[in-house]
Amino acid sequence: MPETNPRILLARRPQGAPVPEDFRLEEAPMPVPADGQVLVRHRFLSLDPYQRGRMDDARSYAKPVELGGVMECQAVGQVAASRDARFKEGDWVLGGFGWQTFSVRPAKALIAIDPAEAPPSTALGVLGMPGLTAWVGLADIGQPKAGEMLVVSAASGAVGQVAGQLGKIAGARVVGIAGGAAKCAFVKDQLGFDAAVDHRAALDPQLDAACPDGVDVYWENVGGAVQAAVFPRFNNFGRMVMCGMIAQYNTSTGADAAGAPPGPNLGPVVRKRLRIQGFIVGDTGWSRYAAFRAEMLGHITAGKLRWREDVVHGLAQAPAAFIGLLEGRNFGKLVIALD
Amino acid sequence: MPETNPRILLARRPQGAPVPEDFRLEEAPMPVPADGQVLVRHRFLSLDPYQRGRMDDARSYAKPVELGGVMECQAVGQVAASRDARFKEGDWVLGGFGWQTFSVRPAKALIAIDPAEAPPSTALGVLGMPGLTAWVGLADIGQPKAGEMLVVSAASGAVGQVAGQLGKIAGARVVGIAGGAAKCAFVKDQLGFDAAVDHRAALDPQLDAACPDGVDVYWENVGGAVQAAVFPRFNNFGRMVMCGMIAQYNTSTGADAAGAPPGPNLGPVVRKRLRIQGFIVGDTGWSRYAAFRAEMLGHITAGKLRWREDVVHGLAQAPAAFIGLLEGRNFGKLVIALD
C-alpha cells in the first residue's frame, strides 16, 4: 500500500479553455477507513465534459468544485480495505471518487460492479452515466421511431456512440457527426450508423446528402456551427434532445452569459411543432438504472451494441486529457487508467 | 337578399407588412346552394395573426391563399337558405367561410352554434379557435401548477387573455405582457392577472418586479424583444409554449428565412432542463373540442372567465383592421361584424 494518495486539485478557475496551470497534482495523506467505511483503490477515472462546468463558480445544476478541492468524477476501483461486511478486498465498486488514487467512502455510498458481466470500465461508459444519459434522453425526449432520421453530434463520444446505436436498434436511420475521417469511419463501419458527417469539412453539402428527407430527431452534444447547420433541417414534429453544448463550455463566463453567441430563430418551432428539451441524467436516470442496465446487457449479448474507450494511462495525464476532451481530441469514452 | 357577394381577395403577396393595396374588394355573384348545401350569411369574421402566413407563398403547415383567392378565415353566420334537412333559415353556424359576406357550403361542413349558450361571436374567440389554442397549449405543454409563475405575452389578445385566465384557474400566478396602459389595466383589473408588464416601456425592471422568483411557464405569442427579456428568467424545468411569434410575421420572406433575427443561445435549455415546444391547434385541438367547450362553459357560468372583443364593423374595414392586428393595435379578439 502506498503511503500517499496522489490527487488533482482545482488550482484556479479557468478563463475560457482550461490550461494545465488550472490544475495541481498533490500527494495527500492516505485516507483511513473507519467503521462502516471502505478504502477504494481507483482503477479508472471517468473524464466527462460536464466537469468543465464544475470548474466555474457559476450558478448551475450542481455545486462547483471549490478552489483547492479535488476535481470531481465518477470512478471504478477495487476495495483495498473494508470495515464493512458488505465489501471485501478486491471487490469492484463504482462511486463519485474524484480525480485521485484512493478514496474512503461509506460502504452504503458504493455501487458494486460485477466484472463477469462486462469489463469494469464500462461502468463509466456504455453501462454507466454516459450510456444512461443516451438511454434516458432517447426514451424521454428523442423517441426515434422506425424509419425516422436521427442525427447525433459528437457521435463517436461516450454518449453519442450509445445514442446512435440505440437509435439503430429502434429502427431509425442514423447519421453521426464527428470530427475527422477516423471518427467518421468508426461510427459508420464499426457502430453501423447509416452515414457519417465530418464537421471539419463543409457541413451543408454533407447533411444534404446524408439527410435528404430532413431530420426527425437531433441529439445535441455540441452547439455552435453544428447546431446551426442541423436546426433548419427539422421535419414537422422534430425533437431536439439537448444533452450538451460542448462548443461553448469554454466561454469564459459560462453557457448562458450575456456574451454567449445567439441561437436559432425560434419561428420554425411553431410552424414545425418542434420540441427542444434539455435534461440532466441525474434527475431521473439513476432511479431507472436497473432497467437500463438489463436492456443494455441484452443488447451487448445480442451483439447489437459496441463501444470504444479512449484510455489514457496515469493520473498526471488527466489534465491534458481533459483539455483535449473539450477540444474533441479524444476518440471514444475518455477514461484515465490508474495502473 | 342582395344580388352580389362582397368579398376580399389577396391582390398580391405582401412585401413585409401588408398594405391596403395587397387586398382587393370585389362584388362576386351571389352563390346558389345545390342539394345538400346551405347558403350562409356571415355575421362575424375572425381575423387572426396566422392569416398573415397564408398570404406568403412559403412552405408552412397549411397551403397559402392563392393570388386572387378569397382571404381565409373562420366566421359565424346564419343560414340564409338551406337545401339540407339539418339546417333551417336563421340557424347559427361556424365554418371556414373566408373574408366574404356569403358562402355556400355542404351542410356536413358546418358546425351548429347555440346562441342561447353564449353570444355567437364567442365561437370565434373564447369558445373558438383562439380559446381552444390556449387550452391545448396549456394542457399539452405549459401545464402550469399551483404557485408557479406563468407569463403570457400578447396578454390582452384573443389567445393570451384565455391562456392567462386558465393559468389563474390552475392556481398559477400570472403576469401578462401587453402594449400600453389600457391593455395592462385590462389584464390586471378585468381579467384578474397578478401583474401586467407594458412592452412599450423598459421590460427588464418591470419583469424584475413582477417575477422576482423567475418564470416557470412562458406563453410565447410574440418573439422579438419580449422573448429575449423573458427567456433568461426561466426557472429549472421551465416550459415555453410556442404559440406564435407575431413580431416577425411581417418579415418579407417568412419566419424561418435566412434573414430572421437570431434567437436565444440554447445553453440554458440543458442546464435548466427547459422544454421549448411549438404546436398548431389544428393538429389535435378540434378532436378535443367537446371537452374544451364543456370546461369553458363551466368557467363562464362560474364567473371565472371573461373575454373582450374588438369589433370592427364592415367588410371593407377588414384589411385595415388586419394590418392593425399585426401591429398590436387591436384590443381583444378582433372580429369584423357584417351588419
Q: Are A77 and A103 in contact (CB under 8 A)?
A: yes
Question: Residue B252 above 50 pLDDT?
Answer: no
Q: Same domain for A320 and A185?
A: no
pLDDT attached to residue B250: 80
Q: Same domain for A138 and A275?
A: yes
Out of A244, A262, A280, closest to residue B263 by CB? A262
d(CA A253, CA A246): 14
Over residues B24-40, the mean pLDDT reads: 97
Q: Same domain for B108 and B56?
A: yes
- Show residues of chain A in contact with B220, CB under 8 Å: 266
Reported as a single tens digit per residue, the pLDDT across B260-298 is: 889 999 999 999 999 999 999 999 999 999 999 999 999
Q: Does B337 touch chain A (CB under 8 A)?
A: no
With cut-offs at 50, 70 and 90, classify the pLDDT of residue A339. confident
Q: Same domain for B121 and B138?
A: no
User: Is residue B294 assigned to a domain?
Assistant: no
d(CA B97, CA B83): 18
ipTM of the complex: 0.93
The verdict on a CB contact (< 8 Å) between A61 and B236 is: yes
Chain B, 41 to 60: residues with Cβ < 8 Å from chain A are 53, 60
Q: Same domain for A133 and A276?
A: yes
Q: Distances in Å between the alpha carbon of A112 and those of A72, A79, A92, A107, A128?
A: 20, 10, 6, 10, 12
Q: Same domain for B138 and B257?
A: yes
Question: Residue B256 above 60 pLDDT?
Answer: no
Question: Residue A58 above 90 pLDDT?
Answer: no
pLDDT attached to residue A91: 98
Measuring CA to CA, which residue among A21, A20, A23, A39 is closest to residue A31? Answer: A39
How does DSSP classify residue B223? -
Q: Does B124 touch chain A (CB under 8 A)?
A: no
With cut-offs at 50, 70 and 90, classify the pLDDT of residue A253. very low
User: Is residue B225 assigned to a domain?
Assistant: yes
With cut-offs at 50, 70 and 90, classify the pLDDT of residue B251. confident
d(CA A237, CA A217): 9
- Percent of chain B having pLDDT more than 90? 92
Q: Same domain for A86 and A138?
A: no
Q: Same domain for A164 and A181?
A: yes
Which pTM was predicted? 0.94
d(CA B56, CA B145): 38
Overall residue count recorded for chain B in this entry? 339
Q: Distances in Å between the alpha carbon of A239 and those of A42, B94, B281, B307?
A: 39, 35, 18, 35
Over residues B121-134, the mean pLDDT reads: 97
With cut-offs at 50, 70 and 90, classify the pLDDT of residue A35. very high
The verdict on a CB contact (< 8 Å) between B262 and A267 is: no
User: Is residue A300 assigned to a domain?
Assistant: no
d(CA A11, CA A8): 9
Reported as a single tens digit per residue, the pLDDT across B75-97 is: 999 999 999 999 999 999 999 99
User: Is residue B296 assigned to a domain?
Assistant: no
Q: Same domain for A99 and A59?
A: yes
Q: What domain range includes position A136?
A: 129-284
Over residues A259-276, the mean pLDDT reads: 93
- Would you state the cell numbers that stand for residue A147, as one nine-digit string? 424509419
Q: B111 CA to chain A: closest CA distance, Å?
A: 26
Question: Residue B253 above 60 pLDDT?
Answer: no
Domain count, chain A: 2
The verdict on a CB contact (< 8 Å) between B271 and A278 is: yes
Residue type, B329: R
Out of B242, B271, B278, closest to residue A256 by CB? B271
Over residues B138-150, the mean pLDDT reads: 98
User: Is residue A291 assigned to a domain?
Assistant: no
E strands, A123-248, are 149-153, 173-178, 195-198, 215-220, 234-242
- Show residues of chain B in contact with A53, CB under 8 Å: 271
With cut-offs at 50, 70 and 90, classify the pLDDT of residue A249. confident
CATH number at residue B17: 3.90.180.10
- Show residues of chain B in contact with A268, CB under 8 Å: 255-256, 278
Q: Same domain for B11 and B118?
A: yes
Q: Does B265 touch chain A (CB under 8 A)?
A: yes
Q: Are A278 and B276 in contact (CB under 8 A)?
A: no
Provide the sign of the torsion angle of the four alpha carbons B42, B46, B52, B54, taken in this order.
negative
Q: Same domain for B318 and B277?
A: no
CATH number at residue B197: 3.40.50.720
State the angle between helix axes of A289-301 and A129-137 in degrees (0 to 180), rounded to the nearest 10: 100
Q: Same domain for A109 and A148?
A: no
User: Is residue B302 assigned to a domain?
Assistant: no
